[in-house]
């Protein structure tokens, strides 16, 4: 993909459904009783991996590209898959599904692509093992492939060392099958979509600060789920609207759950013209239209409790920082090293190639912005968020930018380039 400077991005865009919520709709729909109907489901490769895995376990999932209908078989209706469960590039499928598998009465193997096979799984192996599950990293390196032998498990209280919704959710989903109460405390509250959706389908779950407490129930009920637009996808249009001169973009129907809205707060703190309209609630999730226009941004400090609320947006925030006057410091974000790629290293490599002054640190990066970046050859490292971040950077940079491995946007946003380029027509 080759991209050059554009002027004045104008118009309205509707981003695809939220990735986290789409995954959860498949998992909870599969173990609920009845038909779960999902509207605005994200048809990205990651969520299709979740569909494929649950189909392998005997769940009938109809997907007509618009509405997904999951014929749930109840908490104890999954059957042993006859083959390896392939989670593709999806950390969410791998970790959340492992929680469900921990409580089944069968054994199976979970594996994914090269990126998944290098991502840390100790973080779920430890708590699920404490619950009594048997999970083995077959290569002995704490990564997938994982052999999971479902067991009779028991509830635990777990003090998670990381603020990770994937870890929290894996434990809570296992808790559905455990004897007694299961609770998870995390340092900072991570996205709470599992808790909200569980509540929506009749789960017994409460939250107290950064602790989620779940008690097993006899059954979960199917529900109609309307998935809000993904704020992590909307983030690319927020950034594009702010950094491309002459732009004004309206992003419709974006989920603004407070555990996910750090990007909006950062845009405001950097001096961005950004506002929300039409705020309402859909299936327990707050939703709004977001309007952005070109702004003179300035650098800021990003650290502490806000980090989990914008963890997936840090690559595009780093791009905004390159266009902002002064220094932006990102701290407390060591988790970036264990995402689809090492996002500290990959952002440093690629922003440096564009002539941006960036220094990687142990838990983030320091960017001295304000000098127009130069087009360069960008290595996506097959990380969708890296490809999309640099497609946006290219729109306001000198010369031509070429993104190697640009197709990886299919993971979370198959129509990304079309939607982006439509705004500059
Ligand atoms: C996700 C949680 C986050 C996020 C990922 C999706 C989820 O990961 O980065 O893209 O759906 O629960 P961690 O739990 O590793 O922070």
pLDDT digits (tens, 9 = 90+) for 72-99: 999 999 999 999 999 999 999 999 999 9
Q: If you ran DSSP here, which 8-state letter would residue 121 be given?
A: -
Q: Half-sphere exposure of residue 66, counting CA atoms within 13 Å on the CB side?
A: 0
Q: How confident is the model at residue 377 (pLDDT cuts 50, 70, 90)?
A: very high
Bridge partners (DSSP) listed for residue 366: 329, 359
Specify the ligand 1 atom closest to the Cα of 163.
16
Alpha-carbon distance 308 to 310, whole Å? Answer: 5
What percent of the chain stands above pLDDT 90? Answer: 98
Specify the ligand 1 atom closest to the Cα of 20.
11
Residue 17's nearest CA partner among 167, 193, 150 is 193
Domains of the chain as residue ranges with CATH = 2-16+228-422 (3.65.10.10), 19-226 (3.65.10.10)
> What's the CA-to-centroid distance between 166 and ligand 1, angstroms?
5
Phi-psi region of 288 (alpha: psi -120 to 50; beta: other; left: phi over 0): beta
pLDDT tens digits, 190-249: 999 999 999 999 999 999 999 999 999 999 999 999 999 999 999 999 999 999 999 999
Alpha-carbon distance 422 to 425, whole Å? Answer: 6
Phi-psi region of 58 (alpha: psi -120 to 50; beta: other; left: phi over 0): left
Q: Between helices 91-102 and 122-130, what is the axis angle to 10°?
A: 10
Between 252-256, 283-287, 295-299, 319-323, the lowest mean confidence (pLDDT) is in 283-287
The model carries a pTM of: 0.98
Structure tokens at 177: 């099958």
Q: What is the pLDDT of residue 424?
A: 83
Alpha-carbon distance 296 to 104, whole Å? Answer: 54
> What's the CA-to-centroid distance between 372 and ligand 1, angstroms?
32
pLDDT tens digits, 5-31: 999 999 999 999 999 999 999 999 999
Mean pLDDT of 183-187: 98
Mean pLDDT of 23-42: 98
> What's the CA-to-centroid distance between 164 and ligand 1, angstroms?
6
Average pLDDT of the residues of the chain: 97
Three-state secondary structure along 203-225?
A: CEEEEECCEEEEECCCCCECCEE
The phi and psi torsions of 395 (rounded to 5 degrees) equal: -65, -20
Mean pLDDT of 254-274: 98
Check if the beta carbon of residue 128 is closer than 8 Å to that of residue 177.
no
Mean pLDDT of 276-301: 97
What is the longest distance spanned by two Cα atoms in the chain?
61
Can 83 be counted among the known catalytic residues? no
Q: Atom 16 of ligand 1 has which residue's CA nearest to it?
A: 164
Residues 6+ apart with CB under 8 A from 113: 88, 89
Alpha-carbon distance 226 to 379, whole Å? Answer: 35
Specify the ligand 1 atom closest to the Cα of 311.
9
Pocket, ligand 1, Cβ cutoff 6 A? 20, 23, 92, 164-166, 169, 191, 311-312, 335
Q: Does residue 425 have a pLDDT over 70?
A: no
**How many CB atoms within 10 Å of residue 353?**
17
Q: What is the pLDDT of residue 289?
A: 98
Q: How confident is the model at residue 66 (pLDDT cuts 50, 70, 90)?
A: confident
Pick the catalytic residue from 312, 342, 357, 363.
Answer: 312
């Amino acid at each position: 993909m080759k991209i050059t400077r554009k002027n004045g991005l104008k118009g309205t865009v509707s981003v695809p459904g939220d990735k986290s919520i789409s995954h959860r709709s498949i998992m909870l729909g599969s173990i609920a009783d009845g038909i779960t109907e999902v509207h605005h489901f994200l048809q990205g490769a990651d969520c299709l991996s979740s569909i494929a895995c649950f189909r392998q376990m005997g769940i009938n999932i109809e997907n007509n590209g618009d509405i997904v209908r999951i014929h749930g078989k109840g908490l104890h209706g999954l059957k042993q898959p006859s083959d390896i469960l392939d989670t593709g590039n999806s950390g969410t499928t791998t970790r959340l599904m492992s929680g469900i598998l921990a409580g089944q009465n069968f054994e199976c193997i979970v594996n994914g692509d090269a990126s998944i096979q290098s991502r840390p799984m100790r973080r779920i192996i430890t708590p699920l093992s404490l619950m009594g599950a048997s999970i083995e990293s077959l290569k002995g390196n704490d990564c997938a492939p994982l052999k999971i032998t479902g067991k009779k498990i028991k509830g635990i209280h777990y003090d998670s060392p990381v603020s990770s919704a994937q870890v929290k959710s894996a434990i809570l989903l296992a808790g559905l099958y455990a004897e007694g109460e299961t609770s998870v405390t995390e340092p900072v509250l991570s996205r709470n979509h599992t808790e909200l959706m569980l509540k929506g389908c009749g789960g017994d779950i409460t939250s107290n600060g950064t602790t989620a407490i779940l008690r097993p129930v006899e059954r979960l009920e199917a529900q109609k789920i309307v998935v809000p637009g993904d704020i992590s996808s909307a983030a690319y249009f927020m950034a594009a609207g702010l950094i491309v001169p002459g732009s004004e973009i309206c992003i419709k129907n974006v989920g603004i759950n407070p555990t996910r809205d750090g990007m909006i707060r950062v845009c405001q703190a950097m001096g961005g013209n950004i506002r929300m309209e039409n705020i309402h609630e859909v299936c327990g999730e707050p939703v709004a239209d977001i309007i952005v226009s070109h702004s003179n941004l300035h650098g800021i400090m990003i650290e502490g409790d806000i980090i989990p609320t914008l963890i997936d947006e840090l690559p595009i925030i780093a791009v905004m920082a390159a266009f902002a006057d002064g220094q932006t410091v990102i701290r407390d974000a060591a988790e970036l090293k264990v995402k689809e790629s090492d996002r500290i290293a990959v952002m440093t490599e690629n922003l440096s190639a564009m002539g941006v002054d960036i220094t990687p640190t142990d838990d983030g990066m320091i960017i001295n912005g304000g000098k127009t970046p130069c087009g360069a050859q960008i290595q996506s490292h097959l990380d969708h968020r890296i490809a999309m971040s640099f497609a946006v950077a290219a729109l306001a940079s000198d010369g031509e930018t070429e993104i190697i491995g640009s197709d990886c946007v299919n993971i979370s946003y198959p129509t990304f380039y079309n939607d982006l380029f439509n705004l500059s027509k």
